[in-house]
Amino acid sequence: MNYELMGTFYVPVGLPYYPSSGDVSNYKSRMTFNIDHNYPVIGDAYEAAGYPHLWGHPVNQKIFHWFTINGYRSYGNKTDYMDSATTVWPQVKAYNYGFDSATLVNILGERGYVW
């Protein structure tokens, strides 16, 4: 991202398998800062079978997936994102609004995000 968007300073953030409330708070703060300054955040999902998944993803599968976080609601408590998995599963919507941010951070656990 830094190469493609010269003059930007994207930073990767690793998360533990079980993110803490502090991890959620840091995510919301960083995400709202980036979005307010017209920079998306990039999520690196680890969707474990039987646990929370991004909308439309099959919950019985383990999925690793990069996606773009491009907005928020309710002071960062809800995250808007774009999902390219529409090419894999037809039930996935390209634009997703109001996903719970704490749940999203749990999906990012073990992987992380770039802000």
23-54 tens-digit pLDDT: 999 999 999 999 999 999 999 999 999 999 99
Distance (Å, rounded) from C-alpha 113 to C-alpha 96?
Answer: 18
Cα separation of 57 and 55, whole Å? 6
CB-based burial label for 112 (10 Å; 0-12, 13-18, 19+): buried
pLDDT at 10: 86
Look up the pTM and report it: 0.92
Tell me the two tokens of residue 94: 């390209």
State the pLDDT at residue 9: 81
Helices and strands, counts by H and E, the chain: 2, 6
CB 31 within 8 A of CB 104: no
pLDDT at 2: 63
Please give the pLDDT value at position 1. 64
Q: How large is the angle between the packed helices 101-108 and 21-36, nearest 10 degrees?
A: 110
Instruction: Give residue 22's pLDDT.
Output: 98
Q: Max Cα separation, the chain?
A: 41
Cβ–Cβ under 8 Å, residues 37 and 26: no
Which among 69, 73, 62, 71 has a CA at the least distance from the CA of 83?
69
**Average pLDDT per 10 consecutive residues for the chain, totaling 115 residues:** 69 96 98 95 97 97 97 98 94 97 98 97
